[in-house]
Amino acid sequence: MAQVNSDALVFYGATGDLAFKKIFPALFLMIKRGHLHVPIIGVARGDYDLEKLRLRAKESIQRYGNFEEETFARFLELLAFVGGDYTDPQTFLRVREALGAAKHPTHYLAIPPILFPSIIAQLEQSGCAKGARVIVEKPFGTDYSSASDLNKLLLSKFSESSVYRIDHYLGKRPVNNLVFFRFVNSLLEPVWNKKHVESMQITMAEDFGIQSRGAFYDVTGTIRDVIQNHLFQILCNLTMEPPQTLDSESIRDEKVKVLKAITPLRAQDVVRGQYKGYLQEKAVSEGSKTETFAAIRLHINSPRWDGVPFFIRAGKHLPVTCTEILVRFKHLPSAYSSIASKPNHIRFRISPDVTVAFGMLIMAPEEDMASVLSEVQGNPTPFPKEKDAYERVLTDAMAGDPTHFARQDYVEEAWKLVDDYLHSDSPVFAYDPGTWGPEEVNELICPPGGWNNPTLQKK
């Protein structure tokens, strides 16, 4: 049923924070663009009813979306509510009744993973799983074992083609543009290999802390939260081979091949940090060794990338909020090598703005035999009706397009890369908020030529 359009959407956790901040605004835009015209059934525990859900949806869209009355009226026509406990079979019988004649519903589990087993069992017992898809939110497991167990649970009730594992980063247009930019522009492919590329680095910086999310973050940390999923996805987009065809399975096959070619993390390839003041955050355990910063070095053992080091860095309370990629190229041997002051580079900025910049050497002012690095920048402008990440992934899931979702083998291979390290006892170095992490980073995990520290223009 890979290309069958869903005829209903049931989302669990309708009163939760994710629904309020992301799901309601995404559904509203899907309706506005004409991409959603089937029943939307919110399910939640507690004393909610349909009227309360309508008010919460309106507040959500007014705060996080572009509210307008005509579209919201259509939203209300589609919206229904089922209240009840997720362990109660009667709740799911009411869901089945609310689905009416729907034969291919999508069930979106926007809830904590601890509730998945109960809901998945109830979906089957109530008949709600028949002909259905299921969307599950990250985190998809906390290590390889838990991810594998979750996959077994899902695949015992649903086929792989009916399971959609959300990583909203895959719905971001700038992330997917990396693949497009590589393979559509012929000037890159001849130099996109170990012969010409010296190193690649990916930085995901945030200038804020854990923002009252201590209970979640203290059992998660930076590697689990953003590196193992979001930043590995970026790495795959940068390094995958061109797929034979543009169907979703061919594209996802190439991403899995990248992960299988990476050497699992070793202690000498990781530096973890924790910002000073983290231990005083609410719900953080006394003496916690959870990292709020991590820098890792990877190697891809493939004919294209063998010998090229890849560096990934992410953290909280850094100087800016920005996600950026820097690809440095090797110097070509020639008579001019002695005056090539710095290597060429390509810089991709994914957020907060989108930038593609080529770092080129030019003749230094007033000196004929000296060079300086100068960037040529482009700022791709989003289309006027650009989709939000959640709007994109939900639209794709409802249409049966799995391209922007993680497949079972991808999820498990990604966990394999970090699993041994996460279960080891490794040091965590302190760093001052507003700096680029602990000093040990530049001593132990430093790209050739140093880290690229993104800067933002002040508004």
Task: Work out the angle between the directed axes of helices 232-239 and 173-184 (0-180°, nearest 10).
Answer: 10
Task: Work out the angle between the directed axes of helices 69-78 and 50-64 (0-180°, nearest 10).
Answer: 140
Looking at 168, 230, 345, 404, which residue is catalytic? Answer: 230
Taking CA atoms, 298 is separated from 56, 209, 345, 418, in Å, by: 45, 26, 19, 11
CB 85 within 8 A of CB 91: yes
Where do we find the tokens 């089937």? 38
The CA distance from 155 to 147, in Å, is 12
Cis peptide, bond prior to residue 352, ω within 30 of zero: yes
The helix/strand/coil state of 179 is: helix
Residue 88: φ, ψ to 5° = -95, 120
Of 221, 247, 444, 176, nearest in space to 314 by CA:
221
Residue 35: φ, ψ to 5° = -100, 0
The helix/strand/coil state of 113 is: helix
The CA distance from 347 to 325, in Å, is 6
Catalytic residue check, 168? no
Could you tell me where the beta strands, DSSP code E, fall in 290-427? 293-299, 309-315, 322-329, 345-351, 355-363, 371-378
CB 271 within 8 A of CB 429: yes
- Catalytic site positions: 230
